Structure 1
Amino acid sequence: MSFRKKISNSLFYKYQGIRENDTKITFGELQEIKKIKFQFLAISALIGILFVLIFYVPIYVFPSFFNDHVFEVNFFGLELHVRWVRECSNLLLTYVELYFLSIVSIFMIHKLAAVLDFPAINST
């Protein structure tokens, strides 16, 4: 058995829940799930707003820096003007935002698993 498999098996058995299969969700668990959903949506919205501001505020504060660096491309007779500084900052901020949203998503999935006592003893 590989090292990763041993670690995953030991963690699986260490954190196994006591919930049986086909158990209905209780009212308290449903309320907790709704609370987690609201938290996730609120945090995601705040992250989205923050990164939109981080993208647009510097463009309007320093317009010459973002608009003067233009890369011109001729593509089959079509002339394209690419503002490469703006595009690079947009790609970087999008990547960082998706990274933060992934972390929040993993954290919320972990909270949901704890509420629903997943994995159960009899789950396959």
Structure 2
Amino acid sequence: MLASFTQEATFTADDGLVLSETVSRQITLVSGQNLKRGSVLGKITTGGKYTLALSASSDGSQVPAVILAEDCNASAGDKVTVAYFAGTFDENACTYGIGVTPATAREPLRDVSILLQSSITR
């Protein structure tokens, strides 16, 4: 039996961050942060919350794991938000924490199905 599709969609790149189809789901951003869409996040081993990946961290969050899908203000407390878990993204449109660069984030993100690609100017 062949699959039957009732809708057709075309992928349209947005503000330059997203370059392909994506997979996203909810996460909890740990309190004390006000981050922009495209921020590269790491997962805190204890508790499973996410924070901006910083190379000097030692709680697991130093390893880039997801990309924030929307602006999120968690200044006053933990906040449920959405992050990308797969897709191809413009590395120049991402926001990186101290000590994290496209070069250092590329491999750990690739290992979890997130690809960073340098944008092509026209």
| TM-score, normalised via structure 1 length | 0.21
* Bigger Rg, which one: 1
Greater strand proportion: 2
| TM-score, normalised via structure 2 length | 0.21
Greater helix proportion: 1
